[in-house]
């Protein structure tokens, strides 16, 4: 887990809260005092809570969970996008669309449309259209990219949210709470910390403080991924994963064949090795050497009826 000291938090301005007239009484236990009508956050309580939040993120990443980074305010957009990309997690840093979690099925249709437009632009399909149609499709792609570009590779609902400023992202927090998705969030002195599962008391406006939070969260994700280098598949087979958590394909084994070109499939004989009776019949034994001849008398087919006529019937009744 990334270790963030109290000195680093002081240098980043994490301890500065909002004006005293805007405070939330439920944040009183995390407030050290006031200075110039500005509340001062007690960092002695912030440090352990920050550590608990990072441990949760790291453990979730170790289990291959998905953490959605959310920060759409101006001071958080850049750092949220950069750190989420660095650790390979989805993010929303432009505008939270209502129903992005609770109506994810419809959002996936918009994501599919975005990928379709991207594919059409790269494979040369736009070259077949007239200029005004191309411009219209490019504007549509840019609009979708701005709002959904950070989650276009998110195949399902996230396992947790990492939020900067729960007041600005109140819709995201409400949707996550409705779906039972845990929320890790930075909470300033003017909001209720009980609205989230893992509250980090701290300044949610200063750019340096936001950079400190997002960088630590990204480092926690990367450490969690590094702690799970392999993924079990079956009882005894394991699949190795790369740094991004993707399975590394193993080379396929070539089929083993005998000297006659038949496949050796766990001891089962090929059709050519089966006997004349069909499936399951014993195979005809071939001579051990091609020049070997059979010894002993061989009955001719023409002599067989005569021999049978000369021999007395064993079961015939005696003449009286």
Give the pLDDT of residue 297. 52
pLDDT digits (tens, 9 = 90+) for 96-124: 999 999 999 999 999 999 999 888 888 87
Q: 195-231 burial, b for 16+ CB within 10 Å, e for fewer?
A: bbbbbbbbbbbeeebbbbbbbbbbbbbbbbbeeeeee
pTM, full prediction: 0.70
Rounded to whole angstroms, how far apart are CA atoms 154 and 90?
A: 6
CATH tag for 6-98+157-230 (out of 3.40.50.1100, 3.40.50.300, 3.40.50.10490, 3.40.630.10): 3.40.50.10490
pLDDT band at 314 (very low <50, low <70, confident <90, very high): very low
pLDDT band at 284 (very low <50, low <70, confident <90, very high): low
Phi-psi region of 266 (alpha: psi -120 to 50; beta: other; left: phi over 0): left
* Residues, the chain: 320
Residues of the chain with CATH 1.10.287.610: 102-156
Task: Tell whether the model's pLDDT for residue 254 goes beyond 50.
Answer: no
Give the pLDDT of residue 68. 97
pLDDT digits (tens, 9 = 90+) for 158-201: 999 999 999 999 999 999 999 999 999 999 999 999 999 999 99
The CATH topology of domain 102-156 is Helix Hairpins (1.10.287)
Average pLDDT for 34-43: 93
Half-sphere exposure of 115 (CA within 13 A, CB side): 12
Radius of gyration of the chain, Cα coordinates, nearest whole angstrom: 37
Rounded to whole angstroms, how far apart are CA atoms 191 and 19?
A: 12
Assigned token pair, 1: 């887990």
- CA-to-CA separations, 178 to 163, 172, 182, 296, in angstroms, rounded: 16, 10, 10, 92
CA dihedral 285, 291, 292, 295 (to 10 degrees): 120
Assigned token pair, 211: 């950079």
Residues of the chain with CATH 3.40.50.10490: 6-98+157-230
Mean pLDDT (the chain) is 81
């Amino acid at each position: 887990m990334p270790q963030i000291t109290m000195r680093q938090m002081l240098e980043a301005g994490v301890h500065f809260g909002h004006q005293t007239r805007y405070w939330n009484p439920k944040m009183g236990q995390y407030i050290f005092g006031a200075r110039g009508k500005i509340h001062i956050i007690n960092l002695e309580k912030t440090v352990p809570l920050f550590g608990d939040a990072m441990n949760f993120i790291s453990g979730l990443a170790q289990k291959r969970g998905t953490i959605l980074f959310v920060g759409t305010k101006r001071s958080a957009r850049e750092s949220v996008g950069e750190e989420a990309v660095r650790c390979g997690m989805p993010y929303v840093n432009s505008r939270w669309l209502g129903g992005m979690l609770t109506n994810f099925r419809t959002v996936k249709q918009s994501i599919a449309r975005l990928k379709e437009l991207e594919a059409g632009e790269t494979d040369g399909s736009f070259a077949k259209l007239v200029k005004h149609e191309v411009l219209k499709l490019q504007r549509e792609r840019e609009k979708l990219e701005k709002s959904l570009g950070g989650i276009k590779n998110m195949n399902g609902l996230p396992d947790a949210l990492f939020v900067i400023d729960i007041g600005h992202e109140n819709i995201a927090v409400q949707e996550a709470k409705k779906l039972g998705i845990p929320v890790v969030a930075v909470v300033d002195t003017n909001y209720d910390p009980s609205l989230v599962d893992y509250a980090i008391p701290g300044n949610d406006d200063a750019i340096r403080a936001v950079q400190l939070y997002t960088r630590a969260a990204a480092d926690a994700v990367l450490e969690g991924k590094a702690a799970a280098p392999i993924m079990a598949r079956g009882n005894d087979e394991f699949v190795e994963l790369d740094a991004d958590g993707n399975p590394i394909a193993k080379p396929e084994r070539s089929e083993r064949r005998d000297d006659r070109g038949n496949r050796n499939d766990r001891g089962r004989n090929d059709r050519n090795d089966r006997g004349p009776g069909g499936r399951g019949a014993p195979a005809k034994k071939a001579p051990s050497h091609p020049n070997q001849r059979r010894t002993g008398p061989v009955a001719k087919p023409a002599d067989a009826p005569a021999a049978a006529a000369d021999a007395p019937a064993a079961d015939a009744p005696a003449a009286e």
